[in-house]
Amino acid sequence: MDIKTNICNQFIDIILSEVSKKEIKEKLNTHLVEPSLTYLFERMYPYIILTSVIFILILLMAIITIYILIRK
């Protein structure tokens, strides 16, 4: 059990040291992070617009309701 833990810790240390290098970070960012975020934003864009429109409509309805209540 101790040998497995030691091997796993060494493996994790090696991976962390490699990922900490600047060129690896740039590759990960260019090939993994940016495309993932771009894809996510493209998929979420219609929902963001729909949510914004609904929020604006609710806000307008609240303002109109307050205006009608104050007027009476």
What are the pLDDT digits (tens) for 13-37?
999 999 899 999 999 999 999 999 9
Query: Residue 62: which domain range?
Result: 20-71
User: What percent of the chain stands above pLDDT 70?
Assistant: 99
CA-CA distances (angstroms) from residue 17 to 12, 13, 25? 9, 6, 11
Identify the sign of the CA torsion 38, 39, 45, 48. negative
Q: Is residue 6 part of a domain?
A: no
Neighbours of 25 (CB within 10 A): 12
Tokens of 56: 């604006």
* Cβ contact 6:12 at 8 Å: no
Band (pLDDT 50/70/90 cuts) for residue 1 is low
Tokens of 60: 């307008």
Q: Is residue 66 part of a domain?
A: yes
Domain total in the chain: 1
Tokens of 32: 């993994």
